[in-house]
Amino acid sequence: MQGRTYTADAEPGDEVTVAGWVHETRDLGGIAFLILRDATGRIQVKFEKDEMDDDLVETGLDAHRESVLSVTGEVAEEPRAPTGVEVVPAAVEVLAPADPELPLDPSGKVDAELPTRLDNRTLDLRKEEVKAVFEIRAEILRATRETFRDLDCTEINTPKIVATGTEGGTELFPITYFGREAFMNQSPQLFKQLMAGSGLERVFEIGPIFRAEEHNTPRHLNEATSIDFEGAFCDHTEAMDAAEAVAKGAYEAVEENCAEQLEALGLDEEFEAPEGEFPRLSYEDALDRVNAEGDLDAHLVWGDDLSTEAEHVLGQSVGEHYFITDWPSEIKPFYIKDHDDDEELSTGFDMMHPRMELVSGGQREHRHDRLIAGFEQQGLDPEEFEYYTKMFKYGMPPHAGWGMGAERLVMTVLGLENIREAVLFPRDRQRLSP
């Protein structure tokens, strides 16, 4: 809008046009106040009924809450106004009226349940604390791109419609692609590995992944955003360094650049970026720790995956971010390389927040014959993946990488209860719209 001033930029003495939503109106008789809200904050508009044109007063005061108005007038200092200034209007225009009945109260005076909030995300995002989550999410992704830049990575985008899956056949969403069966991609895994073998060497992607998993939990989405890294000539320890740098970079950026948003979320006092190196615990040590400290139904033995309950015990025990390394090969994906001196042991790792898993990754199997054998052991037909495996015949360097759930990162940085709070329009078992 030509000539529009953000409410935060309105200075005493300025002649401005501000535009935004009617946050509230207070009619005191001879004088009335309207609070107008925009992306930058709120401003008071003062109506002195005896001194102003009736039409102007009526237009301003008859507008229902959440209607969109533009107000032109002079900004005056007013210590009693919420921001210390007010606009004395010379013209008021209704740009978009709002129904008097709202499905959700953006002023936050009336709480709404999460499903109602998600059904009405536009209104929900007019609340300062909800807007703050998405501003912080954007800052985390910005900082992540910066960290990857410092790590000499090139940003890539890979196909989301694919012919085959990689992360286990049961979790694929099938679609029809010109009469053929195709799938929504579960992970950029194979494509990012192909790029590690290209002239780009070190790549990252921030993009959607689709998982048709049955889970309906506060930590799972059926469409999530994955932050993926893949680096040629990297081993699993260097990949872990990169994951740690991305996580720390996210916290530091939020701490440095999001003071206002943290305050809106009531986190300004308690927000803490992790300090020191994330401990690296072997799978075996993790099992011992869970068995010693946890009160689980079953004693964990070598080869067991860590249940949510076991992760919880471990998280409480470690109390900070940590890695779990040296997993049994049999429970890590076929594309992860085993240790050269012990084939039972995988270079795969997970990076954990005390509340949940954030990352999994590892060094990759880059030897063509071993890779083909891995596909076969997994029950996958290597022929179907020939586009991928054949590139391992033409000089595929050793490489390593990982995937990190962006929503889980935001969720853990901000201590959100439910992952759906970190996505604008979540996709889960029940939710396909909006």
Q: Is 365 in the site for ligand AMO (CB under 6 A)?
A: no
Is 187 annotated to bind a ligand? Reply is no
Integer Cα distance of 311 and 269 in angstroms: 28
Q: How far is the CB of 70 from ligand AMO (least distance, A)?
A: 41
Residue 19 annotated as binding?
no
Among 60, 231, 405, 426, binds ligand AMO (CB under 6 A): 405
Q: Is 289 among the annotated ligand-binding positions?
A: no
Q: Which residues touch 329 (CB under 8 Å, ≥6 apart)?
A: 336, 338, 343, 344, 345, 346
Q: Is 211 a catalytic residue?
A: yes
The strands making up 154-155's β-sheet, listed across from edge to edge, are 154-155, 202-210, 223-232, 399-405, 356-363, 349-353, 322-325, 280-282
Is 408 annotated in the active site?
yes
Exactly one of 211, 353, 420, 427 binds ligand AMO (CB under 6 A); that residue is 211
26 is catalytic: no
**Residue 215 CA to its chain's centroid (Å):** 19
Q: How many CA atoms lie within 13 A of 47 on its CB side?
A: 25
Find out whether 364 is annotated in a ligand binding site.
Answer: yes
For residue 23, give both structure tokens: 């946050």
Q: Is 324 in the site for ligand AMO (CB under 6 A)?
A: no
Q: Does 195 bind ligand AMO (CB under 6 A)?
A: no
Among 72, 346, 360, 363, the residue binding ligand AMO under the rule CB under 6 A is 360
**Judged by CB under 6 A, which stretch of 26-34, 140-148, 316-324, 399-407 contacts ligand AMO?**
399-407
Q: Does 403 bind ligand AMO (CB under 6 A)?
A: yes
Which position among 42, 248, 399, 408 is part of the footprint of ligand AMO (CB under 6 A)? 408
Instruction: Give the Cα separation of 60 and 39 in Å (integer).
Output: 20
The CB-of-349 to ligand AMO minimum distance in angstroms stands at: 9
Which DSSP category does 171 fall into? G
Pick the closest to residue 123 from 16, 21, 252 (CA basis): 21
Q: Which residue type occupies 91?
A: A
Rg of the chain, C-alpha, whole Å: 27
Is 355 one of the annotated binding-site residues?
no
Among 74, 93, 167, 263, binds ligand AMO (CB under 6 A): 167
Structural tokens at position 73: 């007038």
* Contacts of ligand AMO in 229-248 (CB under 6 A): none
405 annotated among ligand-binding-site residues: yes
Residue 366 to residues 153, 167, 195, 234, 369: CA-CA distances in angstroms?
A: 20, 18, 13, 12, 9
Q: Are 162 and 151 in contact (CB under 8 A)?
A: no
Q: Which residues bind ligand AMO (CB under 6 A)?
A: 167, 187, 189, 211, 213, 220-221, 224, 226, 228, 357-362, 401-405, 407-408
Residues acting as catalytic residues: 211, 213, 219-220, 357, 360, 408
Question: What residue numbers does the annotated binding site cover?
Answer: 167, 211-213, 219-221, 357, 360, 364, 405-408
